[in-house]
Amino acid sequence: MLAQEQKKIDIEYSGFLNFDEANYPGAKILTRDDSQQIHIIHESINVWCDKAYYYGNENFIEAYGHVKMIQGDTINMSSKYVEYSGKTQLAFASGDVVLTDPTSTIKTDTLYFDRVKQQAFYRDGGTVVKDTSGTITSKIGRYYMNEKKYQFVTDVVLVNPDATIKSNFFDFYSETGQAYLYGPSTITTDESTTYCEKGYYDTKAKIGYAMKHAKINYDNRIIEGDSLYFDNNKSFASATNHIKVTDTLNHSIVKGHYAEVYKAKDSVFITKRALAITVQENDSIYMHADTLMVTGKPENRITRAFRNVRLYKSDMSGKADSVHVDHAKGLTQLINISKLSSTDAFATKRRPILWNIGNQMTGDTIYLISNPETEKLDSLIVFKNAFLISKDTLGAGFNQISGQRLVGLFNEDNDLETVDIIKNAESIYYFRNDKNELVGIDKAKSGTIKIFLENKEIEEVRKINQIDGKIYPESDFPEKEKILKGFDWREEERLTSIEDLFKDDPPLVLPKIKGLDDYVPQEDFFDDAMMERIKEAGKNDTINRAARNIPKKEPKLTNLLKSNTDFLSSDWFKKDVIVSSNSSISFDKTKTANELSGVASKNGYLLQKVAKTQGNFKFSIWLKGKGLIRIALQEASNDYTNYAIKDIKLTKEWTRYEINCIKENDGNNLRAVLSDIHSSDFVKAWGPELIEL
């Protein structure tokens, strides 16, 4: 390195040579002639320009006018002005700067080029053009030439014919066209918009992954999940773990832990605790199955549920092997297993079943018919082996009706109002008087039976074309006559809550998602090694020209708070709050976060005073958990005036919260406060910081 630093800049060609010691002491003033530009060489780099000032003692050159700098056969840079130190091998270019290599082009107004690290850097806005991958703009950009990697920060936008990508932290590999996104980011195409806070996109293959609050919007469908894979060539996406697919037109939601979505086919396949939710104004319908498929355009959408289907609504529930829903027609079909005949030992158990208030209905196939506009249930039809059972209101017996087909009509409250049993109808009905005394038990056979219900109970039974029938006193009713053929009371299977949809499922084991590496912030371009080079370059000179365009480093701000990784410390005053020391993984992935909880119904708090009576202050802290708490900057005595406060609703993600205040000199010190901590709150806290700006 020392040997390299000693090599002098060579003036290969200059049209004219002048000196001006009064204005440019120690400089050779070089000017081009009519035949060609000035040509300068140093360490395999060539520079051409119209005019230059060469400071031989400092091994430093300033180049003006149509400047071109070429390194080897790969890096070409043009600009209006360049200054270059042969000691540091650092170039600074300004004015319409364009740097190109075989895979990309950088355009900016000012650019730093470090030949030692083989990196280029801009910080005041720039554009990178990559032939097939598109154009990238950002406020800050850095190019790692050896790795062919760009790292962009702040207001990053990539535009190509196929997609527009926006992010604040964006790593891009120019040879492969692969991009890594960090922080709130969007990928927008003609077909979809993808959002994530950690993601990957291959601009050549048009495929990618989205993680952390990831979602894809396909016009009328929104797909959310822990991990999303998408292929924009096929308008296809798959999702893994905690999936939610929302149909914004049909007001329905499908959930599960693995899903595939084909936009072109308008289809969704979902499994692993698959759950479909039809959102209604007052009462949603929930359907769970091993597998769900939703297909068709919004106006002709079909939902299919396969294997072990369960339905739940506040006033109705059901089970079937399969369910078919035609949303446009408002038709829901509960279907029996086709490969099993009705005489199969398992067929009765697997036969579709519905419970509505006190009524149980079974049959080979059940249709639920609703109004597509209002989404209210109109009627139901049970085909083949229809069987309706309701328990006698006071006794141990069962009202029963069976036949080949059942047609039920619902009232405005979604209660069964009338039921018709058609063909080969049989019935057992317990008659009671106004005092609820049992009058008799009617057992009959008819062509058709019509039932009227009121207040969710059977009010009247009409038998049409009665073939046979008899009313028995309870004491004379034979035991063997108490149930009809095919009777199967399945009350123990009834679903009474949403949780019951999953009660027979095997334990859920979700795959562990490897995911993408966390974002690694840019190391400082002007790092200690570079600053040492710059310092060394000017140690024997009155003026260090090599340092002229190097930005001044911001002074390091000191945290005024002590013990910022341990709230148990006596530096923190605590009241009505319980602190668990270093019990959680903090934002920086070390086990240094504290857990805080309140005591009973009291308002717990902790605080720390600092000896500052005036100034501009910022208080920040990392928090996550559950509950509502408050951070504040307060006067440390007298009436504890609040200089700044923020009420915070905690979330399950680590989030950095901050407040600022300007404190006048009132003679009172300042304190940072974390308050409103109750026993119902669950708070994880880490890294409190109070700095004077």
Residue 338's pLDDT is 57
Structure tokens at 228: 């999303």
pLDDT digits (tens, 9 = 90+) for 549-582: 888 776 667 899 998 888 888 999 999 999 887 6
Residue 103's pLDDT is 82
Structure tokens at 107: 């355009």
- What is the rounded CA–CA span in Å between residue 268 and residue 221? 10
Burial environment of residue 525 by CB neighbours within 10 A (0 to 12, 13 to 18, 19 or more): middle
Which of the listed ranges 86-100, 405-419, 452-466, 663-677 does the model predict with the highest average pLDDT? 86-100
DSSP letter assigned to residue 552: P
Compute the half-sphere exposure of residue 587: CA atoms within 13 Å on the CB side of its CA. Answer: 18
In this predicted structure, which of 57-61, 262-266, 482-486, 525-529 has the lowest mean pLDDT? 262-266
Residue 583's pLDDT is 66
Phi first, then psi, for residue 628 (nearest 5°) are -115, 125
pLDDT digits (tens, 9 = 90+) for 474-483: 888 888 888 9
Mean pLDDT over the full length of the chain: 87
Look at residues 656, 514, 673 and name the one whose alpha carbon lies nearest to residue 183: 656
Task: Write down the residue that tokens 């390194």 correspond to.
Answer: 71
- What is the rounded CA–CA span in Å between residue 222 and residue 224? 7
pLDDT digits (tens, 9 = 90+) for 381-402: 999 889 999 888 777 889 899 9
Instruction: Give the mean pLDDT of 347-360.
Output: 78
Residue 573's pLDDT is 94
Residue 591 confidence (pLDDT) above 70: no
User: How many secondary structure helices (H) and strands (E) does the chain include?
Assistant: 3, 45
Report, at the CATH architecture level, how domain 347-489 is classified.
Answer: Sandwich (2.60)
Instruction: Give the mean pLDDT of 74-103.
Output: 94
Determine contact, residues 434/416, Cβ cutoff 8 Å: no
Give the Å distances, CA to CA, from 86 to 54, 60, 76: 11, 6, 18
Structure tokens at 446: 């008819």
Residue 519's pLDDT is 80
Structure tokens at 309: 């289907």
Determine contact, residues 268/218, Cβ cutoff 8 Å: no
Strand partners, 46: 41, 70
Torsion of CA 283, 254, 182, 619, to 10 degrees: 20
Structure tokens at 663: 């404190």
Chain mean position to CA 10: 57
Q: How many CB atoms lie within 10 A of CB 542?
A: 7
Phi first, then psi, for residue 597 (nearest 5°) are -145, 150
Q: SS3 for 400-442, per residue?
A: EEEEEEEEEEECCCCCEEEEEEEEEEEEEEEEECCCCCEEEEE
Residue 80's pLDDT is 97
Determine contact, residues 670/613, Cβ cutoff 8 Å: yes
Look at residues 90, 12, 118, 49 and name the one whose alpha carbon lies nearest to residue 547: 90
Residue 37 confidence (pLDDT) above 70: yes
- What is the rounded CA–CA span in Å between residue 459 and residue 620? 68
- What is the rounded CA–CA span in Å between residue 313 and residue 143? 58
Instruction: Give the mean pLDDT of 117-131.
Output: 92
pLDDT digits (tens, 9 = 90+) for 178-232: 999 998 899 998 888 999 989 999 988 889 999 888 998 887 788 899 999 988 8
Residue 343's pLDDT is 53
Residue 159 confidence (pLDDT) above 60: yes
Q: In CATH, which of 2.60.40.150, 3.40.50.150, 1.10.10.10, 2.60.450.10 is domain 1-114+524-553? A: 2.60.450.10
Residue 345 confidence (pLDDT) above 50: no
Return the sign of the alpha-carbon dihedral for residues 333, 339, 344, 346. Answer: negative
Determine contact, residues 198/179, Cβ cutoff 8 Å: no
Give the DSSP H/E element, type plus range, for residue 480: none
Residue 416's pLDDT is 82
Residue 476's pLDDT is 87
Residue 346's pLDDT is 46
Residue 127's pLDDT is 95
Look at residues 540, 538, 537, 542 and name the one whose alpha carbon lies nearest to residue 89: 537
Determine contact, residues 622/587, Cβ cutoff 8 Å: yes
587 in helix, strand or coil? coil
| Portions of the chain given CATH number 2.60.120.260 | 573-692
Under CATH, which number does the domain 125-307+501-522 receive? 2.60.450.10
Chain mean position to CA 433: 61
| Portions of the chain given CATH number 2.60.450.10 | 1-114+524-553, 125-307+501-522
Burial environment of residue 589 by CB neighbours within 10 A (0 to 12, 13 to 18, 19 or more): exposed
Residue 5's pLDDT is 45
Structure tokens at 439: 């009058």
Strands 38-42 and 45-49: what pairing?
antiparallel
Torsion of CA 537, 538, 543, 549, to 10 degrees: 50
pLDDT digits (tens, 9 = 90+) for 267-281: 889 999 999 988 766
Give the Å distances, CA to CA, from 61 to 28, 37, 81, 139, 205: 9, 15, 11, 28, 45
Instruction: Say whether pTM exceeds 0.85.
Output: no
Q: What is the DSSP string of 101-156?
A: ETTEEEEEEEEEEETTTTEEEESS-EEEEETTTEEEEESEEEEETTTTEEEEEEEE
Q: Which residues contact 300 (CB under 8 A, 6 or more apart)?
A: 328
Tell me the pLDDT band of 99, cut-offs 50, 70 and 90.
Answer: very high
Which of the listed ranges 33-42, 329-338, 676-685 does the model predict with the highest average pLDDT? 33-42
Tell me the pLDDT band of 455, cut-offs 50, 70 and 90.
Answer: confident
Residue 691 confidence (pLDDT) above 80: yes
Under CATH, which number does the domain 573-692 receive? 2.60.120.260
